Amino acid sequence: MKRAFFLGIVAAAGVLVGTAGFIASQTKVPPEAIQSSVIRVPELIETAWKLPVAATFDRNIAWQTNASRCGPASIANTFRSVGEEEKTEAEVLDGTGLCWTGLCIMGLTLDELAGLAKMKTQRKVTVLRNLTADEFREHMKRANDPARRYIVNFTREKIFGAGAGHHSPVGGYLEAQDMVFVLDVNENYKPWLVETERLFSAMNTFDGDSKRGLLLIE
């Protein structure tokens, strides 16, 4: 069904139905589950913030402005980290025709997010999907390369036990611990560390008919 068909239904019901970014408030993850499901050991988080790519974010994440806009927020934060001109959600979306209601109705898919990034940068933008676990780990190792930025599209359900699809930048990889630093753009979650295998499991899922995956900007 076309997304436009749902616009009136969504507005009237006040319910957000997510493809890539979100599902209704019924899938909200309790605060205690957020805290207990990922790693936030202060020493490890401090180490993660000092990784080469994470450091370019300057410990400052501009939170998504509503539940549907994790994709544009991820692009905006990533662009800011590499010095692009469009550094806010509004600047990233301006002139694209996307999310014109203020909401990204049904969210943005990984392919749509790639298209949005390509509209606003001359950098190479690549969608990576159907990765094996070993290929994913190799990409996470390369997430510490300052010339590369990754955005991961995953489902929260596999990590937090509830929730829907989401986009967030990858801040880097702690190889000794085999953990990925996810710069979550949702203020309720904030940045967190997770075992590489668990993040792969959450990414290696379907968003409608398409597999989730990584967006690489270099």
> Tens digits of per-residue pLDDT, 136-183?
999 999 999 999 999 999 999 999 999 999 999 999 999 999 999 999
Tens of pLDDT, residue by residue over 54-78, are: 999 999 999 999 999 999 999 999 9
Give the pLDDT score at 14: 40
Query: Is pLDDT above 60 for 53?
Result: yes
Across the chain, how many H-helices and E-strands are there?
Answer: 10, 8
- pLDDT class of 87 with cuts at 50, 70, 90: confident
* CA–CA gap between residue 214 and residue 199 (Å, rounded): 11
Give the pLDDT score at 27: 60
Give the pLDDT score at 28: 81
Give the residue-averaged pLDDT of 101-109: 91
Lowest mean pLDDT among 29-38, 143-152, 166-175, 184-193: 29-38
* CA–CA gap between residue 210 and residue 207 (Å, rounded): 5
Selected residue with higher pLDDT from 216 and 20: 216
Beta strand segments in 51-147, E: 125-129
The SS3 of residue 39 is strand
Selected residue with higher pLDDT from 25 and 92: 92
Domains of the chain plus CATH, in order, are: 16-217 (3.90.70.30)
Query: What mean pLDDT value characterizes the chain?
Result: 89
Tell whether pTM > 0.85: yes
Give the pLDDT score at 123: 98
- pLDDT class of 128 with cuts at 50, 70, 90: very high
Produce one character per residue of 167-176: b if its CB has 16 or more CB atoms within 10 Å, e if not. Answer: bbbbbbbbee
Lowest mean pLDDT among 13-22, 103-112, 178-187, 197-206: 13-22
Helix axes 133-142 and 196-203, enclosed angle (nearest 10): 110
* CA–CA gap between residue 40 and residue 62 (Å, rounded): 19
Closest CA to 54 of 168, 152, 143: 143
Q: How many CB atoms lie within 10 A of CB 193?
A: 22
Query: Is pLDDT above 90 for 8?
Result: no
